[in-house]
Structure 1
Amino acid sequence: MKTLVICSGGLDSVSLAHMIADQQTLTRLVSFDYGQRHRKELDFAARCAARLNVPHHVIDMRNIGAALTGSALTDDIDVPDGHYAEETMKITVVPNRNAIMLTIAYGIAAANGDEAVATAVHGGDHFIYPDCRPAFTESFDTMQRAALDGYADVRLSTPFVHRSKADIVTEGAKVDTPFADTWSCYKGGQHHCGRCGTCVERREAFDLAGIADPTTYEDPDFWKAAVKAAEAR
């Protein structure tokens, strides 16, 4: 099944791209510049596309992102430290981000004869990101099938929507995903900060998967306290 992958340049989406490439069904990567705090992650997406020898479409959504105010990922608001299970992490929500990106990706897939749009949303995203939950992805797929009825047959592939980030690390390792060549941190420094929600989740995922984490963190041990604090909620 010819598959387009939405790729941010992060661990999850790069792993998914490598998994689908291993199945020899990857057609292209699509990334989005929505005015996020830094574009560093897009460089990692570009490197992934080059490595897998597929086209890379970068969609300029900066004008749209400017209207989606109130998120620490797009506004001048400090990115909170801690685990995603903390209420404070809701400030990282960009309203309807995935719905908008998926709509564009479906259009690109239909225009190019692709049969699936794959996204690496996973079970750990459910707490704070409503457009990563199964209820959303299932409904969205139904809506898009109606939107393209009679023109194209494109399905949504979400292989990790009921699984964990540790599962992504495990499956990504099986296809030799170069984890060191992915970027997750929301702060965009020289190295991963080790303290923001996505850094904590990343570090925890490697630990749970029992796979060595090649990432350099500014604060490599913060994740332990963050996980304990989340578990004590």
Structure 2
Amino acid sequence: MKKAVCILSGGMDSTLSSYIAKNEGYEIIAVHFNYGQRTETRELKAFRDICEDLQIKEKYEIDIPFFTQIGASALTDKSIEVPIGGIEAGVPVTYVPFRNGIFLSIAAAIAEKENTEAIYIGVVEEDSSGYPDCTEEFISSITNSINTGTKETTKIQIKTPLVHLMKNEIVLKAIELNVPLHLTWSCYKEEEEACGVCDSCRLRLNGFKKANCEDKIPYKVL
């Protein structure tokens, strides 16, 4: 069976991306990163729950402690407040410097080791909120770099099945594929009940509302 590395944060987008990989006939090797994010414990639980639902046999849980040293993001530096006033123009303070570039580099090393032909990542341009590492242009560029910097026999395709979808389309596609969205976690701030007011919660809730569907995870504010 063909194999794919799936970068799986435990959020809605990466989860749907992983289910799409399974639906496309790939044996999944799941990769999760603990990088000092505020909701690290809750995201790890979501990752493990989703891996169990997908019956994934091989998974990597990788610690990347240096992101907290670098800081410069509200997700990894607790002295910076997570914004709750709605999405603003430009690169937001929740952007983690070159996070997806680092994730994809590690995923590429795993893909080369495991002889997989694809990496799935759930980047979404609409959801990027100005994140420069969530664009199709970035993915195309780093794909070239990865294939240049690996063995000649290594040919890795980075698949971004959600990149042009809106959040409501993601919700509807997830329902179509029986994705257990109640197991996923998107909140930037909280681990018990989602805050409902950070950018990620707002995007998620708006997606469910436009899709005319109920989000079954608990929220402090709806």
TM more than 0.5? yes
Whichever residue aligns with residue 178 of structure 1, its letter is P
Equivalent position of 1:197 in the other structure: 199
Equivalent position of 2:189 in the other structure: 187
For residues 1-233 of structure 1, the aligned pairs below 5 Å read 1-39=2-40, 40-54=42-56, 55-62=58-65, 64-76=66-78, 77-84=80-87, 86-87=88-89, 90-220=92-222
**Partner SS for 1:215:** coil
Give me the whole-angstrom Cα distance separating, in 2, the residues matched to 1:119 and 1:134.
Answer: 11
Give me the whole-angstrom Cα distance separating, in 2, the residues matched to 1:36 and 1:45.
Answer: 14
5+ residue gaps, structure 2, are none
Q: Deviations for 1:13-42, whole angstroms, at most 9, x for unmatched residues?
A: 112212222333132110101111132111
Conserved? CA contact 2:125–2:163, under 8 Å: yes
**Partner SS for 2:141:** helix
Measured on the aligned residues, the alpha-carbon RMSD in Å equals 1.6
Give me the whole-angstrom Cα distance separating, in 1, the residues matched to 2:27 and 2:201.
Answer: 27
Equivalent position of 1:228 in the other structure: none
Whichever residue aligns with residue 20 of structure 1, its letter is A
Give me the whole-angstrom Cα distance separating, in 2, the residues matched to 1:169 and 1:13.
Answer: 12
**Partner SS for 1:71:** coil
Conserved? CA contact 2:31–2:62, under 8 Å: yes
Q: Tell me how far 1:102 sits from its aligned partner.
A: 0.4
**Partner SS for 1:59:** strand
Q: Deviations for 1:60-115, whole angstroms, at most 9, x for unmatched residues?
A: 101x212321110000121111333x148711011000000000001101100111
Mark the CA change 1:134 to 1:89 in structure 2 (over 3 Å): closer, same or farther: closer
Give me the whole-angstrom Cα distance separating, in 1, the residues matched to 2:190 and 2:91.
Answer: 17
Farther off after superposition, 205-214 or 168-177: 205-214
Q: Tell me how far 1:149 sits from its aligned partner.
A: 4.3
Q: How many residues align?
A: 218
Conserved? CA contact 1:46–1:56, under 8 Å: no
Give me the whole-angstrom Cα distance separating, in 1, the residues matched to 2:13 and 2:98.
Answer: 19
Q: Kindly, what percent of the aligned residue pairs are identical?
A: 33
Whichever residue aligns with residue 12 of structure 2, its letter is L
Instruction: Report the TM-score, using the length of structure 2 for normalisation.
Output: 0.92
Higher helix share: 1
Whichever residue aligns with residue 158 of structure 1, its letter is T
**Partner SS for 2:81:** coil
Conserved? CA contact 1:180–1:214, under 8 Å: yes
Mark the CA change 1:94 to 1:213 in structure 2 (over 3 Å): closer, same or farther: same
Conserved? CA contact 1:17–1:26, under 8 Å: no
5+ residue gaps, structure 1, are 221-233
**Partner SS for 2:146:** helix
Farther off after superposition, 140-149 or 105-114: 140-149
Instruction: Report the TM-score, using the length of structure 1 for normalisation.
Output: 0.88
